[in-house]
Amino acid sequence: MRLGRAGEGLLHPAALASVAVLLLNDHWAKRAYPGFATGKLSDFAGLIFTPLLLDAWIELGLRQAGRYRGPSPRRLRALAVLTGLVFALAKTWPPANIAVAWAMGLVRLPLDAGLALALGRGLPALGPVALVRDPSDLLALPSLGLALWVGRRR
């Protein structure tokens, strides 16, 4: 059995496709074709990508510390459960929605700042992302299974 490289789960076609869907849907399709499908598409893609991203960050940290021993299905399962729980709370409970919107704004800030600098714009301010509280988004929770499938394929 081959030892998986740290962070390689993000290179799986399902992970790459989910990033492409997030970018296209959030920056174009939702405006061009507003409706139920575009409203849910990012939820499905985000639930596939998020546990894989968190797992890659942990793997890369372990590698940096000299403690990486290969992919951990158990860790990925725990991250998928955590992702699902935070998502469910953010979509149904106003305090969690606000907290997650601010946390996502903080995580996005370095990316937004890099883009602004590359385009010659001023640096963006820290602020929450737009995160709609919609319990019907819980329909996307089964897509966490695809993240787990990617982990098993490693």
The answer to whether position 105 is within a domain reads: no
Q: How many domains does the chain have?
A: 1
Place of tokens 């089964």: 142
In DSSP notation, 4-39 reads: PPTTGGGGSHHHHHHHHHHHHIIIIIHHHS-SHHHH
The boundaries of the domain holding residue 71 are: 8-93+140-153
The answer to whether position 27 is within a domain reads: yes
Give the tens place of pLDDT for each residue, 33-64: 999 999 899 999 999 999 999 999 999 999 99
Is the predicted pLDDT of residue 148 greater than 70, yes or no?
yes
pTM of the model: 0.89
The answer to whether position 3 is within a domain reads: no
Is the predicted pLDDT of residue 2 greater than 70, yes or no?
no
Q: Do residues 37 and 103 make contact, with C-beta atoms less than 8 angstroms apart?
A: no
The answer to whether position 108 is within a domain reads: no
d(CA 27, CA 25): 6
